[in-house]
Structure 1
């Protein structure tokens, strides 16, 4: 359930951040997260996402606005008193301590008895399938194992909120993908609230209940993964999330939620009016590669395209074509019976449905 400002477990209310008193790196942030939700802050470097996480953790202070946790303002509460679990990319494990001692440390700080500490440490290690490693030191573990221990340490004192800052960035692709599902399943089992920061869009789509896409210090769109991909609200989100084809044109007619767009060569295209201007304005059309069909239905939009490159990827052929001078237009042709076999250099006809084509801001 999407949180409202009143019932949000984590709330950023009108938050702004400036380091020099002039330039805002976070601008008028309003973000409300429900208890038990997994929300990812996604964006390119310098977009403001990590600064938001650091303000929530208490390592940075908001210039203006309020940050609340479970209804209580935390702007002036130091990090160690916020009761938040943290997982970083560099693991931040104590090298001179064993795995068990690393996990016991946050419990000792909380004056927990030895028996309770031992029980909680073993429970947390079992949660990440590292129970037999309690006596080892971090240097004796692989990168993936160290990251599991860092995750267990963040969960060992049973916080209601866990923050993760690019925690899988140092892992290889296969291990990273495996850990994505591990973290997702742990979240589902525990019901803990997670705020996760990454620049990896596939990671965000795989793990999150909702994703906040950041650019230039602002949330460009906040939505579940499927909505972000299928229904981007502006050209930045369309380009940043997944692979996307874009074509420029001018709006020549508008009726309800449909616009007619004319390309420079005079051809026309029908599209959903999502975030575009009026008749006479420039717009940018967004079409996902898998929604483009070769020689599709006659009532669909259609354009001529010259085949430039074919790449075999097993389940599909990635076809790069030239459409109206755009040489990076991609078509994903299923590698299955009944689909046309293309040849580099030939001209073919591409088609797509109006509902798969979104008219967005020209920027």
Structure 2
């Protein structure tokens, strides 16, 4: 349902990858992917994001040809590919475990997909050199995978996926085995290469930061369904439902009931009796239960910064943590002991002690009344 609603309207000529009412079941009863409708234009970097078992990797494997759709059709550049074997789809693949041949040199690993495509020796050598130079591994062609670090092996795996100049590259958790610093560097490298070469990328991860920093659009999966498909900033600032709000970034929630909806504002009475104004997203009438969503950086407690006319709530400070560029304050408010406030480290920022009684507030447009 959400997958169909969230799709950006595109002309058919603009579509390069298309899933049309695709379903997948392994046992004939339980659907791992449910009625997926998804289109991608050429040159887009799309990330499939979601928890384990949400269906994202199954979608990638169906696109690659390693899994067969139970129902529906998958098209590449307007051509149905359901019955085309993986090696004839012309798709590059990068996996978390690199999947390099250990008995071959790096140059031989890159040569393999070119030999399969019957490309001549001189052309092969030129393409191998270009691909290795692209990932800054030009001096390592004579080494074997065991002589390289994890990060170097992943660069080689990326070069092998790009060496035959595919229009579509699929990546399944490719940076999961790398340490944080190297992972961040590779995120930048992959994004840069994708945009420079103009290739289309479908990237699977459960790492939300990776998805937000690398993607043109992100498809958030849960229970075999796309919950929301949108650019990263829209996904974070305007989550379509409670699952997306909780899964993407840090998020505060308060439980309550809708009192009235007027002029694009939902008045919500929280379970502790307090009233707040919110943007109605998944609510439509008074009496509905709702889960209110507010991002930690949108909450303010400095009186000088609280705007007039904004509802404020009384809160008790539970914890105040210095984190360098920001302060992270945990408070108890409206029955929630895990309500987080993030404030930048500024000269006028108040430092709080546990037990302090404060008032907190936020703008109504930063507060979203979602499904309960």
Shift of 1:266: 1.8
Shift of 1:300: 1.1
Q: TM-score, normalised by structure 2?
A: 0.96
Say yes or no: does 1:343 pair with 2:353. Answer: yes
SS of residue in 2 equivalent to 1:318: strand
SS of residue in 2 equivalent to 1:136: coil
Deviation digits for residues 48-105 of structure 1, max 9, x if unmatched? Answer: 0000000000000000000000000000000000000000000000000000000000
Number of paired residues?
362
One of 334, 358, 363 as aligned partner of 2:368: 358
One of 165, 187, 210 as aligned partner of 2:194: 187
Shift of 1:3: 3.7
Say yes or no: does 1:13 pair with 2:20. Answer: yes
Deviation digits for residues 123-170 of structure 1, max 9, x if unmatched? Answer: 000000000000000000000000000000000000000000000000
* Partner residue in 2 for 1:54: 61
* Partner residue in 1 for 2:5: none
Shift of 1:339: 1.6
CA distance in 2, matches of 1:291, 1:98: 52
Deviation digits for residues 7-34 of structure 1, max 9, x if unmatched? Answer: 3100000000000000000001000000
Say yes or no: does 1:81 pair with 2:88. Answer: yes
Structure 2, unaligned stretches of length 5 or more?
1-7
CA distance in 2, matches of 1:190, 1:149: 17
CA distance in 2, matches of 1:360, 1:32: 27
* Partner residue in 1 for 2:40: 33
Contact 2:150 2:178 in 1 (8 A): yes
* Partner residue in 2 for 1:169: 176
SS of residue in 1 equivalent to 2:249: coil
One of 299, 310, 318 as aligned partner of 1:292: 299
Shift of 1:2: 6.1
Contact 2:274 2:334 in 1 (8 A): no
Contact 1:257 1:274 in 2 (8 A): no
SS of residue in 2 equivalent to 1:32: strand
**Counterparts of 1:164-243 in structure 2 under 5 Å?**
164-243=171-250
* Partner residue in 2 for 1:117: 124
Shift of 1:265: 2.4
Contact 2:49 2:218 in 1 (8 A): yes
Shift of 1:256: 3.4
**Counterparts of 1:134-173 in structure 2 under 5 Å?**
134-173=141-180
CA distance in 1, matches of 2:155, 2:36: 32
The 10-residue stretch of structure 1 (259-268 or 138-147) with the greater mean CA deviation from structure 2: 259-268
Say yes or no: does 1:251 pair with 2:261. Answer: no
Q: TM-score, normalised by structure 1?
A: 0.98
* Partner residue in 2 for 1:306: 316
Contact 1:292 1:331 in 2 (8 A): yes
Shift of 1:358: 0.5
Runs of 4+ in 1 over 4 A off after TM superposition: none
Structure 1, unaligned stretches of length 5 or more?
none
Contact 1:315 1:335 in 2 (8 A): yes
CA distance in 2, matches of 1:3, 1:160: 19
Shift of 1:301: 2.2
Question: Aligned-pair RMSD on alpha carbons?
Answer: 1.0
Shift of 1:44: 0.2
Contact 2:299 2:341 in 1 (8 A): yes
